[in-house]
Structure 1
Amino acid sequence: MKFTKLVLAMGLAAGIAACSQQPAAPQLPKGVTLVTVHSQLKDGVSVPYKKYQLDNGLTIIVHEDHSDPLVHVDVTYHVGSAREELGKSGFAHFFEHMMFQGSENVGDEEHFRIVTEAGGTLNGTTNSDRTNYFQTVPSNQLEKMLWLEADRMGFLLDAVTEEKFEVQRETVKNERGQRVDNRPYGRLGERVAQALYPVGHPYSWPVIGYMDDLNRANVNDVKAFFLRWYGPNNATLTIGGAVKPQDVLPLVQQYFGSIPRGPEVTAAPKQPVSLDSSRYISMEDNVHLPLIYMSFPTVYLRHEDEAALDVLAQILGGGKNSILYKNLVKTQIAVQANVNHPCAELACTFNLLALPHPASGKNLADMEALLRDSLAEFEQRGVSDDDLYKVKAQMEANTIYGLQSVAGKVGQLAINQILTGNPDNLQNDLNRVNKVTKDDVLRVYNTYLKNKGSVVMSVVPRGKLDLIANTDNFTPQELDFGGPSTTSADDLQVRRAVDTFDRSVEPQAGVNPAVTVPAYWQSSLDNGIKVLGAASDETPTTAMLLKLKSGLYYESPDKTGLSSMLTAMLNEDTKNFSGEDIALELEKLGSYISISASDEHIQLYVLSLSKNLQQTIAILLEKMLQPAFNEDDFQRLKQQRLQGIQQSEKNAGYLASNAFRKLMYGDSILGQPGGGTLASITNLSLDDVKAYYHSHFKPAGGQLIVVSDLAKAELQQAIAPLNQFSGKAPVINVQVPADTSRGSVIYLVHKDDSPQSEIRIGKRSLTEDITGEYFKTGLANFTIGGNFNSRINLNLREDKGYTYGARTGFSADSFTGVFVASAAVRADATAASVKEFIDELSLFSAQGVTEPELTFMRRALNQRDALKYETPNAKLGFLAQILQYDLTPGFVDQRNAIIANISQEEINLLAKQHFDPKDMVIVVVGDSAVLRPELEALGYPVEDLTL
Structure 2
Amino acid sequence: MKKWFWAVGIAAVLVACADKPVQITLPKGVVLLETSKQTGSQVGIPFRKYQLANGLTVILHEDHSDPLVTVDVTYHVGSARELKGRSGFAHLFEHMMFQGSEHVADELHFKTVTEAGGTLNGTTNTDRTNYFETVPSNQLEKMLWLESDRMGFFLPALTKQKFEVQRETVKNERAQRIDNQPYGQMGEKFNQAFYPEGHPYSWPVIGWPDDLNRADLDDVKQFFQRWYSPNNATLTIGGDFNEAQTLDWVNKYFGEIPRGPEVEAPKKALVKLDKTQYLSMEDRVYLPLLRIAFPTVYARHSDEAPLDLLANILGGGKTSLLYKNLVKSGYAVQAGVNHPCQELACQFTLYAVANPDKEANLGALEKRMLDSIQEFEKRGVTQEDLDKVKVQFEASTIFGLQSVSGKVSTLAYNQTFAGEPNMIASDLQRYANVTRADVMRVFDTYIKDKPMVVMSVVPMGEKELIAKPDTFVPESTVIAADVIKGTVSRQPVQSSFDRTKMPPAGPALVLKTPVIWKQDLANGIQVMGTQSNETPTIELMIYLNGGHRLVDVNKAGLANLTASMMNESSSLRSNEDLAQALEMLGSHVSFGASDYQSYVQVSCLTSRLDETLAIVEEKLFHPGFKEADFSRVKEQLLQSLQHMQSEPSYLAKTAFNHLLFGDKNALGVNATGTLATVNDITLDDVKAFYREQYTAKNAQFVAVGNLPQTELMPRLKGFSQWSGASSALPPLGQLPELKGGTIYIVDKPDAAQSVIKIGKRALPYDATGLFFKSNLMNYPLGGAFNSRINLNLREDKGYTYGARSFFDGGVEQGYFQVTTSVRTDVTAQSLSELIKEISRYQQSGMTDKELSFMRNSISQSEALDYETPYQKASFMRLIQRYHLSEDFTLKQSEIIKTISKDSLNKLASQELALDDMIILIVGDKTKVETSVRQLGYPIKVLNL
TM-score band, normalised by shorter chain: over 0.9
Whole-angstrom distance in 1 between the partners of 2:23 and 2:51: 12
Q: State how far apart, in whole Å, the 1-side matches of 2:788 and 2:703 are.
A: 39
Contact 1:736–1:816, Cα closer than 8 Å, also in 2: no
- Secondary structure in 2 matching 1:700: helix
C-alpha separation in 1, matches of 2:768 and 2:823: 38
Q: Give the structure 2 partner of residue 644 of structure 1.
A: 640
Q: Deviations over 1:518-559 (max 9, x none)?
A: 111111123332111101000011101111112111001110
Alignment of 1:449-488 (within 5 A): 449-478=447-476, 481-482=479-480
Aligned to 2:650: 654
Q: Which residue of 2 aligns with 1:401?
A: 399
1:571 correspondence with 2:567: yes
The amino acid across from 2:770 in the alignment is E
Where does 1:235-250 land on structure 2 (aligned, <5 Å)?
235-250=233-248
Match of 2:443 among 437, 442, 445: 445
Give the unaligned 5+ runs of structure 1.
1-22
1:552 to 548, 551, 557: 548
Q: Deviation of residue 481 (structure 1)?
A: 3.8
- Alignment partner for residue 932 of structure 2, among 910, 935, 939? 935
Aligned to 1:374: 372
**Whole-angstrom distance in 1 between the partners of 2:822 and 2:858:** 29
Instruction: Report Cα offsets for 1:689-735 as digits up to 9, x if no partner.
Output: 01111122112142211011012111001111111221113211231
Deviation digits for residues 620-671 of structure 1, max 9, x if unmatched?
A: 0101010110111111111100110111110111111111111111112210
AA of the residue aligned to 2:581 = E
- Provide the residue aligned with 1:152 in structure 2: 150
Looking at structure 1, the residues matched to 94 and 250 of structure 2 have their Cα atoms a distance apart, in angstroms, of 22
Provide the secondary structure at the position in 2 that maps to 1:272.
Answer: coil
Q: Does 1:674 align with 2:671?
A: yes
2:227 pairs with 1:229? yes
- 1:41-80 alignment to 2 at 5 Å? 41-80=39-78
Q: What is the CA–CA distance in structure 1 between the aligned matches of 2:430 and 2:403, rounded to whole Å? A: 24
Distance across 2 between alignment mates of 1:50 and 1:135: 20
Deviation at 1:26, TM superposition (A): 5.3
Instruction: Report if the CA contact (8 A) 1:276-1:452 is conserved.
Output: no
Query: Identity percentage over the alignment?
Result: 52
The 5 A counterparts of 1:259-338 are 259-338=257-336
Instruction: Give the equivalent residue in structure 1 for 2:181.
Output: 183
* Cα distance per residue 1:14-50 (max 9 Å; x no partner): xxxxxxxxx9995210111111111114342110000
Partner of 1:202: 200
SS of residue in 1 equivalent to 2:697: coil
In the alignment, the residues of structure 1 paired with residue 30 and residue 484 of structure 2 have an alpha-carbon distance, to the nearest angstrom, of: 37
Letter in 2 for 1:907: L
In the alignment, the residues of structure 1 paired with residue 447 and residue 577 of structure 2 have an alpha-carbon distance, to the nearest angstrom, of 28
Amino acid corresponding to residue 31 of structure 1 in structure 2: G
Q: What TM-score results when the alignment is normalised by the length of structure 2?
A: 0.96
2:834 to 822, 825, 837: 837
Residues of 1 paired with 2:73 and 2:722: CA distance?
Answer: 49
Report if the CA contact (8 A) 2:260-2:490 is conserved. Answer: no
1:226-269 CA deviation, whole Å, 9 max, x = no partner? Answer: 10000000000000001132111000000000001010000100
Q: Is the 2:392–2:586 Cα contact (8 Å) retained in structure 1?
A: yes
2:13 corresponds to which residue? none
Distance, in Å, in 2 between the alignment partners of 1:335 and 1:879 is 36
Structure 1 residue identity aligned to 2:159 = T
3-state SS, counterpart of residue 122 of structure 2: strand
Distance 1:437 1:285 in 2: 42
Q: Which residue of 1 aligns with 2:613?
A: 617
**Shift, 1:477, TM fit:** 3.0
Map of 2:218 onto structure 1:
220
Among 518, 537, 548, the alignment partner of 2:514 is: 518
The residue that corresponds to 1:3 in the other structure is none
Partner residue, 2:660: 664
Q: Partners in 1 of 2:483 and 2:742 — Cα distance? A: 48
Q: Distance in 2 between matches of 1:496 and 1:717?
A: 66
Structure 1 residue 413: Cα displacement:
0.4
Q: 2:659·2:738 contact (CA, 8 Å) conserved in 1?
A: yes
Partner of 2:730: 733
C-alpha distance in structure 1 between counterparts of 2:681 and 2:781, whole Å: 43
- 1:601 aligns to 2:635 (yes or no): no
**How much has 1:935 moved relative to structure 2?**
1.0
3-state DSSP of counterpart to 2:25: coil
818, 822, 826: which is aligned to 1:825? Answer: 822
* Alignment match, 2:845: 848
Separation (CA, whole Å) in 2 of partners of 1:527 and 1:319: 36
CA distance in 2, matches of 1:179, 1:767: 32
SS of the residue aligned with 1:614? helix
* Alignment match, 1:797: 794
Give deviations 1:794-816, integer Å, cap 9, x for gaps.
Answer: 00111111110100011111210
Other-structure match for 1:892: 889
CA distance in 2, matches of 1:478, 1:726: 65
The answer to whether 1:922 aligns with 2:919 is yes
Separation in 1, partners of 2:493, 2:867: 38
Structure 1 stretches of 4+ moved >6 Å: 485-488
Quote the Cα distance in structure 1 between the aligned partners of 2:820 and 2:269: 40
Work out the CA distance in 2 between the residues paired with 1:55 and 1:695: 68
Distance change (3 Å), C-alpha of 1:249 and 1:622: same
Q: Residue type matched to 1:854 in 2?
A: L
Q: Which amino acid aligns with 2:899?
A: I
The question of whether the paired residues in 1 share the 8 Å contact of 2:825 and 2:927 is answered with no
CA 1:24–1:781 in structure 2 vs 1: closer, same or farther (change >3 Å)? closer
**2:10 aligns to what?**
none
Question: Who is 2:8 aligned against?
Answer: none
Assess if the C-alpha contact under 8 Å between 1:87 and 1:213 holds in 2. yes
- In structure 1, the residue matched to 2:9 is none
1:871 to 863, 868, 872: 868
| Structure 2 unpaired stretches of 5+ | 1-20
Question: Is the aligned partner of 1:774 residue 2:776?
Answer: no
Measured against aligned partners, the alpha-carbon deviations of 1:772-793 in whole angstroms (never above 9, x if no partner) come to: 0000000011110001000000
Deviations 1:349-389 (A, max 9, x none): 10000111112134011111111100000000001111111
**Would the aligned equivalents of 2:748 and 2:923 in 1 still touch at CA under 8 Å?**
yes
Aligned length: 923
8 Å CA contact 1:792–1:807 kept in 2: the answer is: yes
* Alignment equivalent of 1:634, drawn from 609, 612, 630: 630
| Structure 2: distance between partners of 1:419 and 1:318 | 26
2:580 maps to 1:584 = yes
Q: Deviations over 1:422-465 (max 9, x none)?
A: 00000111100011111111111110011111110011100000
